[in-house]
Amino acid sequence: MAAEMTVPSDAQLIKAQADLQRHSLTYLTSMSLRCAIELGIPTAIHRLGGTASLPDLMAALSLPPPKEPFLSRVLRLLAKSDALACTEDGVYSLTPLSYILVDGVLIDGEARQIAFPLAVTSRYHMESGLGLADWFKNDRALPVPSPFEHVHAAAPFDESMTLLDPETDKLFYEALAAHDHMGIGTVVRECRGLFNGLQSLTDCCGGDGTTARAIVKAFPHIKCNVLDLPKVIEKVPSDGVVNYVAGDMFHTVPPAQAVMLKLVLHFWSDEDCIKILAQCKKAIPSREMGGKVIIIDIVLGSSLETISETELLMDMLMFRINSAVK
Ligand SMILES: C[S@@+](CC[C@H](N)C(=O)[O-])C[C@H]1O[C@@H](n2cnc3c(N)ncnc32)[C@H](O)[C@@H]1O
């Protein structure tokens, strides 16, 4: 027999309705951010000297005058979401979030940060979100395709996506680079102790070497290897700064005093993570001889509320594109 339900109070019902509306409509915040990027609003505010009124923006973006009241509504939502700052007189300025969206601003690498919001709000991601319940009901044999593959019969960062839509495939790679590279500057500034005393380091799954080059710039005495798949290493011009090694971390990891796994483990199943860590262990000397594995990743369970919501959302993103990760 179903349990008897407690009827919420009127105050609780009003809050429940408001919460329902907010949760149902929160995608409009993402869409407004996407719209601001596509219109070039952060760059326009920057070019206008860092502050702009609504009429300034309308003129700078050459938008048709009847659209002014509608733009004001988009800007108001963005200001509420900390994507823009706004004074009581309606003067908009950049926040740290919109600063990283200005054209030409590159944080820790060559990839534009706008690639991440544009990729995750692309129709491919939206449609895979709409297919989630259908994916749950589907009883397919193992290995289970991700919700993204279930809807599109293609997977991000796989040849199938290149064939499906080469332009979006390129955007996905840029979004990955934007996501992966951001933060290494802060790590070398704020966590110097991690690298102090190291003579050599292998950046395992180091991609195009952006992270390793930032480490060598801050700690020039460290000899750095970058291990990645042959198809990635083939495209990286040798730079004389780091040593690029084409290979497979499941087979061997180039030896060094330390191996770094930055934003790697979250993509793999627990069984694969154990195999990767076993290869890393083989590549380093004992702890007594100064060997260590440095793991930098997004970990669920931070104490900061906005960050922990971001962790859960990133976890959902991972699950949507790769259901091997539990
Ligand atoms: C999320 S990125 C890593 C980001 C990078 N560590 C950083 O912080 O910029 C994942 C990388 O792992 C590489 N990769 C995937 N499978 C691999 C394997 N078996 N062996 C080596 N590299 C691999 C991919 O080519 C890709 O460059």
Whether 121 and 167 share a structural domain:
yes
Of 66, 99, 132, the one marking the end of a domain is: 99
CATH number at residue 281: 3.40.50.150
User: 211 CB under 6 A from ligand 1?
Assistant: yes
Number of domains in the chain: 3
User: How far apart are the CA of 9 and the centre of ligand 1, in A?
Assistant: 52
Q: Would you state the structure tokens that stand for residue 281, as one six-digit string?
A: 């262990």
Q: Does 234 sit in the ligand 1 pocket, CB within 6 Å?
A: no
Ligand 1, atom 27, residue with closest C-alpha = 207
82 bridge partner residues: none
Shared-domain flag, residues 88 and 236: no
Closest atom of ligand 1 to 260 CA is: 6
- Distance (Å) from CA 228 to ligand 1 centroid: 6
Q: What letters, b where the CB count within 10 A reaches 16 and e where it falls short, cover 173-212?
A: bbbbbbbbbbbbeebbeeeeebbeebebbbbbbbbbbbbb
Instruction: Write out the residue range of the structural domain in which residue 315 sits.
Output: 115-180+304-321
| 238 and 201 both lie in a single domain | yes
Location of structure tokens 């694969």: 272
**pLDDT value of position 306:** 66
Residues 163 and 204 occupy one common structural domain = no
Catalytic annotation present for 125: no
Contact 228, 260 (CB under 8 A): no
- For residue 269, what is the enclosing H or E element? none
238 and 145: one domain? no
Index of the ligand 1 atom closest to the CA of residue 231: 25
Residues 6+ apart with CB under 8 A from 53: 90, 91, 92
Distances (CA, A) of 191 to 185, 196, 215, 217: 10, 9, 11, 15
Same domain, 79 and 227: no
Say whether both 175 and 311 belong to one domain. Answer: yes
**What single letter denotes the amino acid at residue 300?**
L
Among the listed residues 23, 152, 179, 266, the single catalytic one is: 266
pLDDT at 325: 59
Q: Are strands 223-228 and 243-246 parallel, antiparallel or unpaired?
A: parallel
Instruction: Answer yes or no: are the C-beta atoms of 200 and 223 closer than 8 Å.
Output: yes
Question: Is 288 found in the same domain as 220?
Answer: yes
Instruction: Compute the Cα dihedral for 270, 271, 276, 277 and give only its sign.
Output: positive
8-state DSSP, 145: P
For ligand 1, is residue 227 a contact (CB within 6 Å)?
Answer: yes
Ligand 1 site-directed mutation target among 157, 205, 322, most atoms within 8 Å of CB: 205
- Ligand 1 near 149 CB (within 6 A): no
**Could you tell me the distance, in angstroms and rounded to a whole number, from the CA of residue 96 to the centre of ligand 1?**
28
**Does the beta carbon of 181 sit less than 6 angstroms from any atom of ligand 1?**
yes
Q: Provide the 3-class DSSP secondary structure of residue 94.
A: strand
Task: Check if the beta carbon of residue 118 is closer than 8 Å to that of residue 172.
Answer: no
Do residues 63 and 205 share a domain? no
Give 25: exposed, middle or buried? Use CB within 10 Å, 0-12, 13-18, 19+: exposed
Task: Give, using CA atoms, the residue closest to atom 19 of ligand 1.
Answer: 248
Measured between alpha carbons, how far is 119 from 136 in angstroms, rounded to an integer?
Answer: 24
Alpha-carbon torsion 119, 124, 126, 128, what sign? negative
pLDDT for 324 = 64
Given 73, 99, 125, the domain boundary residue is: 99
Question: Are 209 and 177 contacting, i.e. CB atoms less than 8 angstroms apart?
Answer: no
What is the pLDDT at residue 213? 94
* Residue that terminates a domain, selected from 99, 124, 155: 99
Whether 210 and 249 map to the same domain: the answer is yes
Residue by residue, pLDDT tens for the chain (326 residues) are 778 899 999 999 999 999 999 999 999 999 999 999 999 999 999 999 999 999 999 999 999 999 999 999 999 999 999 999 999 999 999 999 999 999 999 888 889 999 999 999 999 999 999 999 999 999 877 778 999 999 999 999 999 999 999 999 999 999 999 998 888 899 999 999 999 889 999 999 999 999 999 999 999 999 999 999 998 999 898 888 899 999 999 999 999 999 999 999 988 889 999 999 999 999 999 999 999 999 998 877 766 666 788 889 998 998 888 766 55
Query: How remote is the CA of residue 249 from the centroid of ligand 1, in Å?
Result: 9
Instruction: For residue 42, tell me if it sits in a domain.
Output: yes
Contact between 216 and 116 under an 8 Å Cβ cutoff? The reply is no
Q: Supply the CATH number for residue 42's domain.
A: 1.10.10.10
Say if ligand 1 is within 6 A of residue 151 CB: no
DSSP annotation string for 183-197: THHHHHHH-GGGTTT
Residues 86 and 143 in one domain: no
Q: Is the CB of 229 under 6 A from ligand 1?
A: yes
